[in-house]
Chain A
Amino acid sequence: MSSIILSTATRFLLPLLLLLSVYLLFRGHNEPGGGFVGGLVAASAFSLYMIAFNVEKARRILRIDPRSLMGAGLFLASVSAWISLLQGRPFMTGIWVEKVFPVIGKVGTPFLFDVGVYLVVIGVSLTILFTMAEE
Chain B
Amino acid sequence: MIYALLAGFAVGLLAPVAVRALRDRARWLITLLPLGLFTYFSHYVPRIQSGERIFFHYSWLPDLEIGLSLCLDGLSLLFALLITVVGAIVCAYSGEYLSGHRDLGRFYATLLAFMASMLGVVLSDNLIALFVFWELTSVTSYVLIGFDHEREAARSSALQALLVTGLGGLTLLAAFLLMKQVTGTFETSAMLQGASQLTASPLYPAIFFLILAGAATKSAQIPFHFWLPNAMEAPTPVSTYLHAATMVKAGVYLLARFSPILGGTELWQNWIIPLGAGTMVTGAWLALVQKDLKRILACTTVSALGICVLLIGMGTPTSLHACMLFLAAHGLYKGGLFLVAGIIDHETGTRDAEDLGRLGRAMPLTCAAAFLTALSSAGVYPFLGFIGKELLYESTLNASLPFLFTSSAVFTGMVFVTMGGIVAVRPFFRGDAQLPKIPHEPPPGMWLGPLVFGSLGLLLGLFPGILHSSLIVPAVHASLGQSVALEHPAWHGWDLKLLLSIGSLLAGGAVFWKWSIVRKFLAGWSIFRQVGPAALYDSSLTLLEVIARRQTRFFQSGRLNIYLLTVVLTAVAFLSWALSRDELSVSDLLLHRWRDVRLYEAIIAVVLLTSTVIAVKADSLLVAIVALGVVGYSVALVFLLFSAPDLAMTQFAIETLSVILLMLVLFRLPRLKNLSRRRNRLRDGIIALSAGAVTALLVLAVNASRGGGKIVTFYAENSLVLAKGRNVVNVILVDFRGFDTLGEITVLTVAAIGVYSLVKLRVPSGEEGDR
B566 beta carbon closer than 8 Å to chain A: no
In the complex the two chains form, is A44's CB within 8 Å of B749's CB? no
Chain B residue at smallest Cβ distance from A119: B745
| Residues of chain A within 8 A of B722, CB atoms compared | 94
Q: Which of A37, A90, A116, A127 contacts B646 (CB 8 A)?
A: A37
A133 in contact with B734 given A94-B724, A117-B745 (CB within 8 Å): no
- Residues 504-530 of B, flagged 1 when their CB comes within 8 A of A and 0 if not, give 000000000000000000000000000
A93 to chain B, nearest CB (A): 9
B746 beta carbon closer than 8 Å to chain A: yes
A67 in contact with B756 given A110-B723, A128-B661, A129-B664 (CB within 8 Å): yes
In the complex the two chains form, is B733's CB within 8 Å of A34's CB? yes
B731 beta carbon closer than 8 Å to chain A: yes
| Residues of chain A within 8 A of B656, CB atoms compared | 44
In the complex the two chains form, is B741's CB within 8 Å of A117's CB? yes
| Residues of chain A within 8 A of B649, CB atoms compared | 24, 32-33, 37
| Residues of chain B within 8 A of A120, CB atoms compared | 745, 748-749
Q: Which of B645, B668, B759 contacts A131 (CB 8 A)?
A: B759
Chain B residue at smallest Cβ distance from A135: B759
- Residues 715-732 of B, flagged 1 when their CB comes within 8 A of A and 0 if not, give 000000011111101110
In the complex the two chains form, is A124's CB within 8 Å of B752's CB? yes
Within 8 A of A (CB), among B726-765: 726-727, 729-731, 733-735, 738-739, 741-742, 745-746, 748-749, 751-753, 755-756, 759-760
A77 to chain B, nearest CB (A): 6
| Residues of chain A within 8 A of B723, CB atoms compared | 94, 110
Which of B649, B654, B656 neighbours the largest number of chain A CB atoms within 10 Å of its CB? B649
B650 beta carbon closer than 8 Å to chain A: yes
Which of A92, A96, A106 neighbours the largest number of chain B CB atoms within 10 Å of its CB? A92
A62 to chain B, nearest CB (A): 15
B665 beta carbon closer than 8 Å to chain A: yes
In the complex the two chains form, is B657's CB within 8 Å of A129's CB? yes
Within 8 A of A (CB), among B623-658: 645-646, 649-650, 653-654, 656-657
| Residues of chain A within 8 A of B748, CB atoms compared | 70, 120-121, 124
- Residues 419-443 of B, flagged 1 when their CB comes within 8 A of A and 0 if not, give 0000000000000000000000000
CA distance A30 to B753 in the complex (A): 33
B660 beta carbon closer than 8 Å to chain A: yes
Q: Which of A44, A74, A106 contacts B745 (CB 8 A)?
A: A74
In the complex the two chains form, is B759's CB within 8 Å of A33's CB? no
B636 to chain A, nearest CB (A): 12
In the complex the two chains form, is B749's CB within 8 Å of A124's CB? yes
| Residues of chain A within 8 A of B665, CB atoms compared | 132
A127 in contact with B660 given A37-B650, A40-B654, A110-B735 (CB within 8 Å): no
In the complex the two chains form, is A131's CB within 8 Å of B755's CB? yes
In the complex the two chains form, is A123's CB within 8 Å of B724's CB? no
| Residues of chain B within 8 A of A30, CB atoms compared | 725-727
Chain B residue at smallest Cβ distance from A66: B752
A124 in contact with B725 given A33-B649, A44-B657, A117-B741 (CB within 8 Å): no
- Residues 57-77 of A, flagged 1 when their CB comes within 8 A of B and 0 if not, give 000000000010011011001
| Residues of chain A within 8 A of B730, CB atoms compared | 28-29, 33-34, 114
- Residues 95-135 of A, flagged 1 when their CB comes within 8 A of B and 0 if not, give 01000000000101011011011001101110111011101
A95 to chain B, nearest CB (A): 10
A72 to chain B, nearest CB (A): 11
CA distance A44 to B726 in the complex (A): 27
Chain B residue at smallest Cβ distance from A116: B745
Chain B residue at smallest Cβ distance from A120: B745
B225 to chain A, nearest CB (A): 43
Which of B646, B668, B745, B748 neighbours the largest number of chain A CB atoms within 10 Å of its CB? B745
Which of B645, B656, B734 neighbours the largest number of chain A CB atoms within 10 Å of its CB? B734
CA distance A132 to B666 in the complex (A): 10
A28 in contact with B755 given A131-B760, A135-B668 (CB within 8 Å): no
In the complex the two chains form, is A70's CB within 8 Å of B653's CB? no
CA distance A67 to B653 in the complex (A): 20
In the complex the two chains form, is A128's CB within 8 Å of B727's CB? no
CA distance A6 to B364 in the complex (A): 94
A81 beta carbon closer than 8 Å to chain B: yes
Q: Which residues of B contact A (CB under 8 A)?
A: 63, 645-646, 649-650, 653-654, 656-657, 660-661, 664-665, 668, 722-727, 729-731, 733-735, 738-739, 741-742, 745-746, 748-749, 751-753, 755-756, 759-760
The 5 closest A-B pairs by CB, nearest first: A40-B653, A29-B725, A32-B645, A34-B730, A30-B726
Q: Which residues of A contact B (CB under 8 A)?
A: 24, 28-37, 40-41, 43-44, 47, 51, 67, 70-71, 73-74, 77-78, 81, 90-92, 94, 96, 106, 108, 110-111, 113-114, 116-117, 120-121, 123-125, 127-129, 131-133, 135
**Would you mind naming 16 contact pairs between A and B with Cβ atoms under 8 Å apart?**
A30-B725, A34-B733, A40-B654, A41-B653, A43-B653, A44-B653, A67-B753, A73-B745, A74-B746, A106-B724, A110-B725, A110-B738, A114-B734, A117-B741, A117-B745, A121-B745
